[in-house]
Structure 1
Amino acid sequence: MKLETKSQGLRGTLKVPGDKSISHRSIMFGSIAHGKTEVEGILQGEDVISTMNAFRAMGVQIQEHGSRITIEGKGFSGLKAPKKALDMGNSGTSTRLISGILAGRPFDSELFGDASLSKRPMDRIAKPLRLMGAKIAGETDRDLPPLKISGNVMLHEIDYKLPVASAQVKSALIFAALQTDKKAVTRLVEKEKTRDHTEEMLVQFGGQIAISGKNILIPGGQKLQGQKVLIPGDISSAAFWLVAGLVVPNSEIELRNVGVNVTRTGILDVIEEMGGQVVRIHEDETNHSATLVVRTSALVGTEISGELIPRLIDELPIIALLATQAAGETIIRDAEELRVKETDRISVVTHLLQNMGAEITPTSDGMIIRGKTPLHATHVDACGDHRIGMMAAIAALLVQEGQMSLVGEEAIQTSYPSFFDDLRLLNSSN
């Protein structure tokens, strides 16, 4: 497809789709809880649909009413053996978290996905789940999908230090820990603090969990109750408009009801450090959300590393674009996790931006970007990665000559089905 270029400014108000991480977890908790769960603001993207279909295949009744769904939960014991392998599509979150649930069920199951998912290592969940007594195995020593999980095992508690800063690994182990004996207590120690949606939602559904710094204690044998869940807009989706508003001249964008859970707002800290203008208004402390107003700004380079990385790991591709339009040098370190996402995002991002004329160098765990540089047109392949496709569309707005084109734009359906409609709305409002 042809991408819009030479934007004269982006203006308008948007409500971005529901948070993907929270959407996944609301379906999972609703399915393993007892009673009805009502979810408002669910993301209607392909990844979340994969999660819904997986639980439907296990006998859970889920009714859709636009962005609202109802789930009739029957507890862990109410899950039934699926009649065929569960298709996770492109969703690593679905695969890893559901594996933690299936690890303790008394039936055999198998999870598979598309070509991209089949290259993503699952050993990071398989190894600790095996320590808990689970029988789980994938292809090669990295446990690539398809994953086969055998039932009729008794899970037990572990004391485990996570070798990677990963909310997906942590969440899979929390789901498994809930199925251990009532007297068991699983202890997890995070490498760095990661997004805490699973912990918060566990408490919301009546569960017990104790958190002290990076230490997490999860008692076994818990019974959860259905709840009402209100999902804020996804800051990972809002990130594309935040960056667009900062770098496209003459722009002002208002983003309503964006989730601002502190474990997810690393991009806002980076923007502030770089001199960007983003204002929070209408903050809702109960739902951890706010309206964000962003305006075109003069930016300077910065360093992004350490404990900040887990708070913005999904936003780093679009942050790399932001850095190309900032004066001076931006260094991204400690982000080796980018290499095992939907694509090797370090390689793909640097290749794309180099082709557009950016001065960017890949490193083993990040990138070095020198700005400010003008960008020129190129042909882009999303490589099955939704965030690469959306980043390319935002980068194209800065191109003044030539035609930008994108193939593989269908990948964007996994997280932001209305992305191009929203882009046209903002670009036509000037």
Structure 2
Amino acid sequence: MTPGGALTGRWRVPGDKSISHRAIMLAAIAEGETRISGFLEGADALATLAVFRQLGVNIDGPDGGLVRVRGVGMRGLQAPAEALDLGNSGTSMRLLAGLFAGQTFPVTLTGDVSLSRRPMRRVTEPLALMGAQIATTADGTAPLVITPTAQLKGVDYALPVASAQVKSSVLLAGLYANGETCVTEPARTRDHTERMLTTFGYSIRRQGLRVCLTGGGRLSGCRLTIPADISSAAFFMVGASIAPGSDVLLEEVGINPTRVGIVNILRAMGADIELIDRRTVGGEPVADIRVCYAPLKGIQIPVDQVPLAIDEFPAIFIAAACAEGETILTGAAELRVKESDRIAVMANGLAQLGIDAEPRPDGIRIIGGQLGSTAATGAIDAHGDHRVAMAFAMAGLRASGIIEIHDCANVETSFPGFATLAANSGLNIVEQRV
């Protein structure tokens, strides 16, 4: 990236990754046909789609975001001929561990080097309480070897740490369990699984931070529209907030109340963000989001916003680096076990750009200042983390010199075409493929 520029225009970022995963999973085990529009054609979501083709599900597409899935019902999946490779997708592995725990055939789940380092006991342990038999490495990582069990039993599980992936994994296993399965959260997390189960006609009972379902029901095929991903929109929201002269309109972005931490945090920092034409699409609230440049100030990020913005913190850290004063994040230890250790990797990258960034066990302290260049310090290493790479790309809008980002091919996992869209919007970015 060469320094400077402003973001302008209106566009729709790709479909929501979290919802795309769940749409394929539930459509596959539903009865009848499901037609999905807005599906994210990124590597992670495509990995989930490929898995269900290996399990005998007839799927047409994706073609311009359109997918048609002919569901096989709750018990219609077929045993795969080989291990199922989920690439870099932690969401796929954790959710599918729950879905496959109740099947009548063995399954092995594998992934790339990054995914094979991520912790999986957080899902295998509660699933074991239900009777699931899932073997991991000695470190509790993939591959996951799932052996059929006679019958899963419902569980009343209190999450020790707020995690939508763990909640969803337990609920998906609960579809195949005897009796009632309940999950209680310590704090609110994204509720896409619950919303989508309801869309497919499955009864869900919610009360506060507790959600329950009874196993043995059925899902019915339907039509789904997937909104634009707020996690992808977040990079442009931050870019427009930090670059003078910016004015962008992001169309049909999902504003699920369990995902709007990025909006709340940026507004608390002084960002000029307007939500226009609020409506419902595919069971999810959406809006067009207009963002104009505004000077930002550092804040103490409210702990209750952390689970609502857990995937957006790399972008938020760039906003903090461009804000006046100090920004402090606590209660976000989950960032240590994402596609990379996002606290350490972002702190190292910010330090290379001359920003005072102090990593802490569960967060970070950032003092806003002038972003520099990597010309003297060397390129920023994104450690294969798509969100880190895109965050530092936006830093180029306020840097004093060129920023080079290496090991960033995984941007395609969540945001295919990011570099092209960013360049067309005003970011001085050049993508070099090796």
Q: TM-score band (shorter)?
A: over 0.9
Secondary structure at 2:323 match in 1: coil
Partner in structure 2 of residue 363 of structure 1: 360
| Alpha-carbon separation, structure 2, partners of 1:237 and 1:211 | 29
The DSSP-based 3-state class of the residue aligned with 1:275 is coil
The one-letter code of the counterpart of 2:25 is M
How do 1:239-250 and structure 2 match up within 5 A? 239-250=234-245
Q: Superposed, which structure 2 residues align to 1:23-172 within 5 Å? A: 23-64=20-61, 65-140=63-138, 142-172=139-169
Residue 122 of structure 1, CA deviation: 0.4
Q: What is residue 390 of structure 1 aligned with on the other side?
A: 390
Q: Match for 1:16: what amino acid?
A: V
TM-score (norm 1): 0.96
Partner SS state of residue 143, structure 2: strand
Find out whether 1:190 has 2:194 as its counterpart: no
In structure 1, the residue matched to 2:209 is 214
C-alpha distance in 2 between matches for 1:373 and 1:333: 24
- The one-letter code matched in structure 2 to 1:333 is T
2:294 pairs, out of 284, 297, 312, with: 297
1:262 equivalenced with 2:257 (yes/no): yes
Q: Deviations over 1:7-33 (max 9, x none)?
A: 232211121000000000000010011
Deviation string, structure 1 residues 340-373 (Cα, Å, up to 9, x no partner) = 1000111001000011111110000000111133
| Maintained 8 Å contact 2:31/2:71 | yes
Q: In structure 1, the residue corresponding to 2:152 is in which secondary structure?
A: coil
Q: Is the 8 A contact 2:171 2:182 kept in 1?
A: no
Paired letter, 2:406: V
SS for the counterpart of 1:77 is: coil
2:410 and 2:250 map into 1 onto residues whose CA distance is 23
Deviation at 1:243, TM superposition (A): 0.3
Q: Distance in 1 between matches of 2:296 and 2:152?
A: 51
Residue 224 of structure 2 is matched in structure 1 by 229
Letter in 1 for 2:49: M
Q: Deviations over 1:215-268 (max 9, x none)?
A: 111111111101111001000000000000010121111111111011000110
3-state DSSP of counterpart to 1:121: coil
Deviation sequence 1:352-408 (CA, Å, 0-9, x none)? 00111111100000001111333323512221110011112111222223x322222
How far apart, in 1, do the equivalents of 2:280 and 2:149 lie?
Answer: 43
Residue matched to 1:200: 195
Report Cα offsets for 1:190-227 as digits up to 9, x if no partner. 12110000000001100011111111111111111011
Q: Distance in 1 between matches of 2:99 and 2:257?
A: 27
Q: Please point out which of 362, 373, 377 is paired with 1:376.
A: 373
1:426 maps onto 2:425 in alignment = yes
* Letter of the 1:299 counterpart: L
Measure the CA separation in 2 of the matches of 1:179 and 1:363. 41
- CA distance, structure 2, for counterparts of residue 222 and residue 271 of structure 1: 42
Question: Which residue identity is paired with 1:76?
Answer: M
The code of the aligned residue for 2:220 comes to Q
SS in structure 1 of the partner of residue 47 of structure 2 = helix
Q: Does the CA-based 8 Å contact 2:181-2:213 persist in structure 1?
A: yes
User: 2:170 matched to which residue of 1?
Assistant: 173
For residue 241 of structure 1, give the secondary structure of its aligned residue in structure 2: helix
Please name the residue that 1:417 is paired with: 416
Render the CA deviation track for 1:328-347: whole Å, top value 9, x for unaligned.
11110100000110001110
Task: Please state how far the C-alpha of 1:428 moved relative to its aligned partner.
Answer: 7.1
Residue pair 2:59, 2:67 contacting (<8 A) in 1 also: yes
Residue by residue over 1:34-68, the C-alpha shift from the partner in whole angstroms, topping out at 9 and shown as x without a partner, is 10001000000000010001111100111102210
Worse overlay, 238-247 or 273-282: 273-282
How far apart are the structure 2 equivalents of 1:151 and 1:99?
12
Report sequence identity in percent: 42
Counterpart contact for 2:397–2:427, Cα < 8 Å = no
* Unaligned ranges ≥5, structure 2: 429-434
- Check the 8 A contact 2:5/2:427 in 1, yes or no: no
SS in 1 for 2:404: strand
Q: Does 1:238 align with 2:233?
A: yes
Contact 1:85 1:111 in 2 (8 A): yes
Size of the aligned set, in residue pairs, is 422
Moved more, 166-175 or 367-376: 367-376
2-structure distance, mates of 1:374, 1:223: 54
**CA shift at 1:410, angstroms?**
1.1
User: How far, CA to CA, are the matches of 1:7 and 1:234 in structure 2?
Assistant: 26
Partner-residue secondary structure (3-state), 2:351? helix
